Structure 1
Amino acid sequence: MGRGRVELKRIENKINRQVTFSKRRNGLLKKAYELSVLCDAEVGLIIFSSRDKLYEFGSVGVMKTLERYQRCCFNPQDNNNERETQSWYQEVSKLKAKFESLQRTQRHLLGEDLGPLSVKELHNLEKQLEGALTQARQRKTQIMIEQMEELRRKERELGDMNKHLKIKVSHELSTFDNEGQSYRAQLPCPWNSPGHNTTFPMQSNAMECQQEPILQMGYNQFVHGEGSSVQRNMIGESSIHGSWVL
């Protein structure tokens, strides 16, 4: 016959109770260890006997398991803040490491702190500098070409503007000459009359046309050109108050 089901209740016999405690304690500790190994679980076990003796087991340490238990169960908000703080701390650490690496690379490109570098690292640095120099020269050439094209465009614009101004000035001069000729043709001067000799200079004819009578005290002394038929008033030919003026 099979063994019957044992009723779970406190063992009254002190000796039997102690023996049962020892057997089942060892079995429980064994099961906890097997669970942590087989399932890769974090297991923590604490046992207090009736005589206040402590028995414990922790796969990663009982104190660490208790701290984790407290963070997860009693202070969830603090746990979230701690996780967020830890995440930010890791991010800051990564950025700081990257910043230091960039600073170190910049110093190497400037020719500083080259002592710790090996031959291979110096060769790679030389390649980087040559590549950067090539790109800088290409960019400089491109900018110079663009500036030359811009100057040529401005030169063409100024040339077109100059041609336009020349045509405009020529048109204005021709218009001014035509108006001057029309105006001279309308003047009532002797050279406009038929039969007038136009071989005389324009300036003298204009002066003759513009002469007007002048009131003058004393005597007039007219001087004509050589070969003129008009007599010249000589000194002493006119008298004032009946006496000759020398």
Structure 2
Amino acid sequence: MVRGKTQMKRIENPTSRQVTFSKRRNGLMKKAFELSILCDVEVALIVFSPRGRLYEFASSSILETIERYCSHSRNNNTSTPSESVENTQHLKEEAKNMMKKIDLLETSKRKLLGEGLGSCSIDELQKIEQQLDKSIAKIRAKKTQVYREHIDQLKEKEKAIVAENVRLSEKYGNYSSQQARKPYADYISLSSDVETELFIGLPDTRTRNMSH
């Protein structure tokens, strides 16, 4: 049976919430224990239930692990105010440079679209023209490539159609020739079975012969 994906929000049903808490808590404890054994790391886990009950796991001493964590946090937060100001100034400078680059790109884009060219010098206009020529050359080359690929596909389809026509001609051409010969043979056979009265001579002679 496929398990559905659990939506990450608070479980409203108290019974379901308690059952889920128990299962997930035990699984979390198990994973913490496995991580400490397999990777030889120091792990401390603290969980408080909705009713305030404490659940904890520690690979050594949970108090020592907490003290180690606090000491590590203090050592990483010992930067002086001057360093913080320098970092802030550096971030502001980077943001200002990024805004300048964005403005230059927007201006260049507008000029390539033919907008805001009144303030451009001859050299700038020539550079824009060269950029457009290069872009047009690339577009035409890509267009030619697409056309060639399309033509090659059509040629392959044409070959397939011609081959199919040849096959059908060979198949039904023999059948048509056999059907054409058959009526002629039937006509010859029918003509040989028909009796005809043929008389050559004058009409009165023909009458006398018929009276006899």
| TM-score of the aligned structures, taking structure 2 as reference length | 0.43
Q: Which has the higher contact order (CA 8 A, sep 6+)?
A: 2
| TM-score of the aligned structures, taking structure 1 as reference length | 0.37
